[in-house]
Amino acid sequence: MIKTNFTRFVIFAGIVLAYANVKAQEFPVAVGSDTTFSGGAVYGGLNGIVAVQGDNNSPYNINAQLVGAGGVLIGPRISLGASGVTPGATPVFDGTNYFLIWREFNGNLKGQFLNTSGALVGSSLTIATNVSIERMGSYGIVLADTVFLVVFTKTDDILYGQIVGRSGSLIGGQIQISNNYAREVSLAYDNANFLVTWVEIIPEMDKDIYGQFVSKTGSLVGSNFLIDGGPYYSDNPTSLAFDGTRYLLVYHDQPDTVGNWFIMGRFITASGAVEETVTICDTSLAPFIASVAFDNENYFITWTQLTDRTLRGRFYSKSGVPIDTSFVVMSPSENKIPFGGVGFGGGLYLVVGTKVDFNFSDGDVYARFISPLTTGVDNEINLMPDKITLYQNYPNPFNPTTVIEILLPQESFLTLKVYNVLGQEIATLFSENLVAGKYSTEWNATGEARGVYFYRLTAGSCSETTKLILLR
C-alpha cells in the first residue's frame, strides 16, 4: 500500500486563508410542495431580493422574496400580481429600488419597481411587445448611472434594446442591436457604454459569439463585432462582467467530438479589442450554465458541475488567474441538482440556485451570500460547509493519475483508501488527524489493472464511498 502526499489549500499571497470558519451557508428561499424557479438575485446593502417564479396557486406566478445577509427571509413572499415565462423575473438594484423584468406568455416584456421594504412602487410597465418566449436566455437588464438598458429578442429572433429611466419611463424608441439571429444574451456597463453580447443562431451549429456597444442614450457605438468564432459550439448561456478596465465574457465551448462543455472566459476591452482567452473549467468535470460577477477587486464565477451534481464557485483575478480552488456553493438535494448564477451588490455576492430533478421540474429555490476575498489573517473566506465533503475525482475516467479533494469542517482523524471491485484495499491516501481545511491528494494508479475502483472516506461516524474509473 502506498501513502500519497496531500496538499492543504492555504494561500499566503497577502495572507488569505481558504479554510475559515463558516459564516454563510446556503438557505432555502422557496422550498416546498409548490414548484418554483428563480431568474436571479441581487443584494442592495440593507437586504437582498430573490426573484421567484411559482407559488401554491401556479408555477408561473411572479414573486419576490426579501432576504437578509445572514440568510434569513424577511417577511412573506411578495406577489407582483403577474405570471410569466420561465425563469420568471430578473432583478437589478438602482441604489434606491429594485427593478424586476419578466416576459408574459403573450410576448409582452414587463417591469416592476419594488422598494427595499418590498412594497410595489407604482404600477407595472410594458417595456416591449412581440418578445420571443422560446428561450430562457433571450433577454437581460443592466443599470448605468441613471438609466437601465433592457435587451430582448423579438419573434423575428433579432436582438433589440430599450433605454428605461429610473422612474420607469421609456426613453427613445427601440433600437436594433444585432444584424443576425440572437440567443443567450448578456450585457454589462463600462461607465461610458453598454456592451451587449449574444450567440448567433445557426441551426445545428451555433458557434459564434458577437458583441455590440450601445450608448446611454440608446445609440449604437460602432458595429457588430465577432468575439468568439472558434470551431466549437457555443450555444449555452453567456455571462458578462466589467472590472473597470476590461470585460470578461464567460461562455461555453463544446468540442464537436466530445459530449461535455468547456467553460471559457474571454477578455474584451472597452474599445472592443478582443484579447486573451482563459479556461475556467474543462470537459472532465462536465460543467455548464456559468455566471460571473465582479466585486471591484476580483471576479467570482459559478457553474453547475455534473460530475458531482454541485453548483460550484471560484475566484479569479482581473487577469483571469484562479486565486483559490473551486468550492461547493450549493449541494444537490436528494435527486435535485442546483442550477443558478451570481450577482454582486452592497459588498456581497448573492448566489441563487434552483434545485430541479432530471426532468428539470419540481424546482426549489435556494440562495447563499458569499463575501469577496480580502487580505489579512482576520479576513476569511467563510466557505466551510457544516459537513465533510468528498468530491468526485478529476479527471474521471483517468490514466494513470487522478486528484481527489476533501473539505473538512472541523478537526478529525480521517482515512481515505482506494479499493478494487473485490473489496481489496489498494492504497491509503490519508490516515491521520487533520485540522479543518480543504485537502487534495493525487492517486497514481500505475501498475493497476484498468477498470472500476472505489475510494472511501471515513472520519468519526461519517463514511462515504465514490466510484472512479481507470483507463488504459
Domain boundaries, the chain: 10-370, 387-470
For the stretch 3-55, pLDDT in tens is: 334 443 332 222 233 333 334 688 999 998 888 999 999 998 889 999 999 99
**With helix as H, strand as E and coil as C, how does the chain read?**
CCECCEEECEECCCCEECCCCCCCCCEEEECCCCCCEEEEEEECCCCEEEEEECCCCCCCEEEEEEECCCCCEEEEEEEEEEECCCCCCEEEECCCEEEEEEECCCCCEEEEEEECCCCEEEEEEEEECCECCCCCCCEEEEECCCEEEEEEEECCCEEEEEEEECCCCEEEEEEEEEEEEEEEEEEEECCCEEEEEEEECCCCCCCCEEEEEEECCCCEEEEEEEEECCCCECCCCCEEEECCCEEEEEEEEECCCCCCCEEEEEEEECCCCEEEEEEEECHHHCEEEEEEEECCCCEEEEEEECCCCEEEEEEECCCCCECCCCEEEECCECCEEEEEEEEEECCEEEEEEEEECCCCCCCEEEEEEECCCCCCCCCCCCCCCCCCEECCCECCCECCEEEEEEEECCCEEEEEEEEECCCCEEEEEEEEEECCEEEEEEEECCCCCCEEEEEEEEECCEEEEEEEEECC
CATH code for the domain defined by 10-370: 2.120.10.70
For the stretch 403-416, pLDDT in tens is: 888 877 777 888 99
Q: Average pLDDT for residues 253-262, to the nearest whole number?
A: 73
pLDDT at 437: 66
Q: Cα dist. 12→6, 15, 144, 384, 393 in Å?
A: 18, 4, 37, 18, 26
Residue 179 CA to its chain's centroid (Å): 29
The answer to whether 29 touches 73, Cβ cutoff 8 Å, is yes
Tell me the backbone φ, ψ of residue 285, rounded to 5 degrees: -100, 0
For the stretch 129-152, pLDDT in tens is: 999 998 888 999 999 989 999 999
Residue count (the chain): 472
Top pLDDT among 375 and 188 is at 188
The answer to whether 42 touches 357, Cβ cutoff 8 Å, is no
Top pLDDT among 230 and 64 is at 64
pLDDT at 269: 98
Tell me: pLDDT of 224 over 60.
yes
Average pLDDT, the chain: 87
pLDDT at 291: 97
Q: Average pLDDT for residues 58-80, to the nearest whole number?
A: 93
Q: What percent of the chain has pLDDT over 70?
A: 90
Cell of 401: 493519475
Residue whose C-alpha cell is 485537502:
439
CATH fold of 387-470 = Immunoglobulin-like (2.60.40)
Residue 394: band (very low, low, confident or very high) from pLDDT cuts 50, 70, 90: confident
Distance CA 356, CA 37 (A): 9
Tell me: pLDDT of 393 over 50.
yes
Rg of the chain over Cα atoms, rounded to whole angstroms, equals 23
**With helix as H, strand as E and coil as C, how does 275-323 read?**
EEEEEEECHHHCEEEEEEEECCCCEEEEEEECCCCEEEEEEECCCCCEC
Closest CA to 372 of 436, 312, 310, 313: 313
